[in-house]
């Protein structure tokens, strides 16, 4: 059974299409009006070993906020849909990634109960047309629409590009582990028999 999803969202602010295949190889086709965000989504995909297409248009003349948030919404919904009833998945995943002087880790639980802990004090700045505060906004949107419990922890780092890239790469690794099928698991990995 294919573990894949296609999500489309159109508002007065954005037009987004996300296609996800959990059992891919890290192939990506990313096109948003924020090149640095494209770079982060590419890193997430490559290190998560899933296939991802994101085509996004947004009111970038205002800023990248709506586009980044809505991509987070659509990507969260795509993971939720592709996971279906979550039978056989490991459910929990973790990733820790260095990027030069930066070190970040992410723990995720596809529990069905969204909650985000974001322990990464990223100074407000801009990389290209991407505002660094949008990293947290992306994770809020993904968390709420995937139904995942996510803990983002930045151990240290100085360069903003390195910090954010370490976070996205760690997220890819955590997603890969959490969504992987474990043949030992019968049904869902929960003592109550449900992940909702």
What are the domain boundaries of the chain? 4-179
- For residue 191, the model assigns a pLDDT of 63
Q: How many CA atoms lie within 13 A of 85 on its CB side?
A: 8
Name residues whose C-beta falls within 8 Å of residue 37's C-beta, 6 or more positions apart in sequence: 64, 67, 68, 71, 130, 134
Contact status, residue 171 vs residue 164, Cβ threshold 8 Å: no
Give the pLDDT of the chain (196 residues) as one tens digit per residue.
689 999 999 999 999 999 999 999 999 999 999 999 999 999 999 999 999 999 999 888 888 899 999 999 999 999 999 999 999 999 999 999 999 999 999 999 999 999 999 999 999 999 988 999 999 999 999 999 999 999 999 999 999 999 999 999 999 999 999 999 989 988 777 667 666 7
Distances (CA, A) of 1 to 4, 23, 71, 82, 83: 9, 10, 26, 10, 11
Cα–Cα dist 65/130, whole Å = 8
Which pair of structure tokens corresponds to residue 21?
């295949």
Query: In terms of pTM, does the model score above 0.85?
Result: yes
Question: Would you state the CATH architecture of domain 4-179?
Answer: 2-Layer Sandwich (3.30)
CA angle 121, 127, 131 (to 5 degrees): 60
Give the helix ranges, DSSP H, for the chain.
Answer: 35-48, 65-83, 134-146, 160-179
pLDDT of residue 195: 63
**DSSP code for 76:** H
User: Buried b vs exposed e over 126-147: b needs ≥16 C-beta within 10 Å?
Assistant: ebeebbbebbebbbbbbbbbbb
Provide the token pair at 172: 């890819």
What's the chain's Rg over C-alpha atoms?
Answer: 16
DSSP state of 122: P
Rounded Cα gap, residues 32 and 171, in angstroms: 20
């Amino acid at each position: 059974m294919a573990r894949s999803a296609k999500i489309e969202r159109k508002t007065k602010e954005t037009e987004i299409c996300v296609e996800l295949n959990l059992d891919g190889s890290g192939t990506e086709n990313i096109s948003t009006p924020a090149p640095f965000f494209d770079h982060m989504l590419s890193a997430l995909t490559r290190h998560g070993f899933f296939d991802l297409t994101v085509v996004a248009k947004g009111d970038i003349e205002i800023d990248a906020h709506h586009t980044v948030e809505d991509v987070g919404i659509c990507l969260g919904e795509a993971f939720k849909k592709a996971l279906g009833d979550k039978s056989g998945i490991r459910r929990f995943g973790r990733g820790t990634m260095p990027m030069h002087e930066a070190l970040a880790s992410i723990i995720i639980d596809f529990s069905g109960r969204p909650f985000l802990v974001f322990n990464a004090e990223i100074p407000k700045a801009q990389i290209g047309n991407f505002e660094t505060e949008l990293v947290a906004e992306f994770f809020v949107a993904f968390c709420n629409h995937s139904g995942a419990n996510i803990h983002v922890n930045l151990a240290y780092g100085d360069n903003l590009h390195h910090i954010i890239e370490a976070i996205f790469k760690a997220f890819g690794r955590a997603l890969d582990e959490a969504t992987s099928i474990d043949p030992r698991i019968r049904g869902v990995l929960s003592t109550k028999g449900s992940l909702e």
